Amino acid sequence: MADDTTDTKSSNQMWGGRFASGPDAIMEEINASIGFDKKLFAQDIRGSIAHATMLAHQGIISTDDKDKIVHGLNTILSEIESGNFEFSRQLEDIHMNVEARLATLIGPAAGRLHTARSRNDQVALDFRLWVKEELQKTEQMLTGLIAAFLDRAEEHAESVMPGFTHLQTAQPVTFGHHCMAYVEMFGRDRSRVRHAIEHLDESPIGAAALAGTGYPIDRHMTAKALGFREPTRNSIDTVSDRDFAIEFLSIAAIAGMHLSRLAEEIVIWSTPQFSFVRLSDAFSTGSSIMPQKKNPDAAELVRAKTGRINGSLVALLTIMKGLPLAYSKDMQEDKEQVFDAAESLELAIAAMTGMVRDMTVNTARMKAAAGSGYSTATDLADWLVREAGLPFRDAHHVTGRAVALAESKGCDLAELPLSDLQAIHVDITDKVYDVLTVEASVASRKSFGGTAPSEVRRQIAFWRARN
C-alpha cells in the first residue's frame, strides 16, 4: 500500500484516513506493542466474538456479517495457535493485527466489527481477561505450595528445632510449626488473589473510547458471555483504570517477599554450618572449581526474582501516577511489567513448591541445635513462677544467674547439678529437670496458635478443611 503522493511510507490502514504519510521509523518503533501484546491474542479474539455476537443480537450488524466475523476470527485463532500467523509491526498492536487479517479473510464485513467500541475498551478488556486468568492460575499454584507445606508440617509436627529472633536461638519450636507459619503467609496471599478476582470481575467492553456509545449495545450481554459478574459502571474510569494490573503486581510483590524469606531460610538452613536441610541434586548446582560445593541456586534466584517483581510494581505505579483521565498511550507500558512479574512469580512458586517437597530434613541436627543456646531458659523462669510462686521479673533474674553459671561451666542448663541450682534459689527441686528438655518445652506451649505438637495438628486440620 505505497502512498505515491507524499513519500514511500504508507499511512496506517486502520486509522490513516486523515494521514498523508506513514510514521517515521522511530515512531513505529516506539509506538508498536505487537512485540509483547500478541500474548493477548486469545483474549482479543474471545472479546471480539462476544462483541460481534452482541452487535448482531441488538440488530446493529446483520447476522450474516456476524457469522462471517465469528468464522474469520476462529480461523485467525487457529492460525495463531498453530504458528501460521504473520504479525506485523506496522499494524502496531494485537487488535489491529487481528482486524487486518480479518479483512483479508472475509472482506468488507470485517469493517463492521469495530462498531461501538474502541481500542481503549478493547485493550482494557483483553488485559483484564488475561490478568483474571493469571490470578486464577496463581490461586492454584499457591494452593499447591500450601499443600506441600501441610504435608511437611504433618510429617514434622513433633520435630524440634530452634526458634529464632534476631537469628539468635530464642525458644525451641517444632519444624511443623515453622512450616505452618508459611501456610499462614501463603494463605493470606491466596485470599488477596481471591479478592482481586472479585474486584476485577467487571466487563469494560462497551465503554468505547471513553464516553460510551450511541449504538443500542447490551453491555450486560457481553459481560455475561465473557464470564464477568457485571459491566463496569463508568466509561471514563473503565478506559483509564489499571488498578487490576497494579493489584496483581502488589499481590505478586507481597507473595514474592514471602517466597524470598523462605528462600533465604533455605539458603541458611542448607549451609554446612546449619545443616538443617539438604536439597537434592534436583534443586542444587555444583561449583566449577570447588568440588565439595552444593549451591542452593534455585532458592537464590527466587530471592532475586522478588527484585524484578518489586521493580514492575513501582514501574506501573509510576507510569500511572500523573495521567489525566481518560486513556493515554503511557498505559501501553502496563503489559510488559505484568507479563514479566507473572512469569517470575510462577517460576518462584513452582521452584519453592519443588524445594519444600524435595528437601531432606535433618531432625537430629535440628534437635541438637534446639537444645543449645540455653533455649529453655524461659521454661526455667516459668517453672519458678508456677512452682515457687516467684514474680516473673524475679524468676527472670534467677534464671539469668543460672544461665551465667552454666555458661561459665560450659554446660547446658539441664546439666547443672541440683545443688548449683539450689544455691541460686532454695525453692528449686529436682522436678525442674522435667521442663528443661526441648521436648517438654514445646509440649508445654499449648496456647492457641502455639508450638505444641497438639496445637500444630489443630492448625493443620484447620487449613486442610479450609482449602
Query: Helix, strand or coil for residue 285?
Result: strand
C-alpha dist (Å) from residue 241 to 70, 127, 271, 334? 29, 11, 47, 11
In sequence order, what DSSP letters do the residues of 35-66 get, joined into one string? Answer: HHHGGGHHHHHHHHHHHHHHHHHTTSS-HHHH
332 forms part of the interface with ligand ARG (CB under 6 A): yes
Closest CB 198 distance from ligand ARG, rounded Å: 25
Which cell is 193 given? 488473589
User: Considering beta carbons, is residue 130 or 182 the nearer one to ligand ARG?
Assistant: 130
CB atoms within 10 A of CB 219: 23
207 forms part of the interface with ligand ARG (CB under 6 A): no
* Positions in 80-99 near ligand ARG (CB under 6 A): 93
Beta strands in 176-244 (DSSP E): 202-203, 230-231
Active site (annotated) includes residue 166:
yes
C-alpha dist (Å) from residue 382 to 95, 172, 387, 393, 444? 69, 14, 8, 10, 11
Closest CB 445 distance from ligand ARG, rounded Å: 54
Active site (annotated) includes residue 287:
yes
Q: Give the binding range for ligand ARG (CB under 6 A) out of 60-68, 128-136, 145-153, 328-336.
A: 328-336
Near ligand ARG by CB under 6 A: residue from 125, 251, 331, 369: 331
CB proximity list for 404: less than 8 A, separation 6 or greater = none
> What are the phi and psi torsion angles at 15 (to 5°)?
-125, 15
Q: Which helix (H) or strand (E) holds 165?
A: strand 160-165
User: Considering beta carbons, is residue 182 or 327 the nearer one to ligand ARG?
Assistant: 327
438/219 Cα distance (integer angstroms): 64
Closest CB 332 distance from ligand ARG, rounded Å: 4
Closest CB 120 distance from ligand ARG, rounded Å: 5
Which residue among 78, 88, 287, 328 is the active-site one? 287
User: Considering beta carbons, is residue 42 or 254 the nearer one to ligand ARG?
Assistant: 42
Query: Helix, strand or coil for residue 401?
Result: helix
User: Tell me, what DSSP letter sits at residue 162?
Assistant: E
User: Considering beta carbons, is residue 127 or 149 the nearer one to ligand ARG?
Assistant: 127
User: Considering beta carbons, is residue 331 or 341 the nearer one to ligand ARG?
Assistant: 331
Which cell is 76 given? 485467525
Maximum separation of any 2 CA atoms in the chain, in Å: 108
Closest CB 249 distance from ligand ARG, rounded Å: 17
* Positions in 268-327 near ligand ARG (CB under 6 A): 327
Helix, strand and coil percent figures for the chain, each rounded to 5: 65, 5, 30
Closest CB 312 distance from ligand ARG, rounded Å: 16
Are 374 and 413 spatial neighbours (Cβ–Cβ below 8 Å)?
yes
Closest CA to 265 of 350, 162, 172, 343: 162
Site string for ligand ARG, 109-148 (x = CB under 6 A): ----------xx--x-------------------------
User: Considering beta carbons, is residue 331 or 432 the nearer one to ligand ARG?
Assistant: 331
Site string for ligand ARG, 33-52 (x = CB under 6 A): x---x---------------
User: Considering beta carbons, is residue 123 or 442 the nearer one to ligand ARG?
Assistant: 123
Which residue among 82, 166, 408, 419 is the active-site one? 166
189 forms part of the interface with ligand ARG (CB under 6 A): no
Closest CB 40 distance from ligand ARG, rounded Å: 9
219/229 Cα distance (integer angstroms): 11
Q: Measured on CA atoms in the order 137, 138, 141, 142, is the torsion positive or negative? A: negative
User: Considering beta carbons, is residue 121 or 455 the nearer one to ligand ARG?
Assistant: 121
Closest CB 452 distance from ligand ARG, rounded Å: 54
In sequence order, what DSSP letters do the residues of 364-383 get, joined into one string? Answer: HHHHHHHHSSSTTHHHHHHH
The C-alpha cell 491474542 sits at 41
User: Considering beta carbons, is residue 228 or 327 the nearer one to ligand ARG?
Assistant: 327
Closest CB 123 distance from ligand ARG, rounded Å: 4
27/29 Cα distance (integer angstroms): 5
The C-alpha cell 544455691 sits at 423
Catalogue the active-site residues.
Answer: 166, 287
**Which residues are at the interface with ligand ARG (CB under 6 A)?**
33, 37, 93, 119-120, 123, 327, 329, 331-332
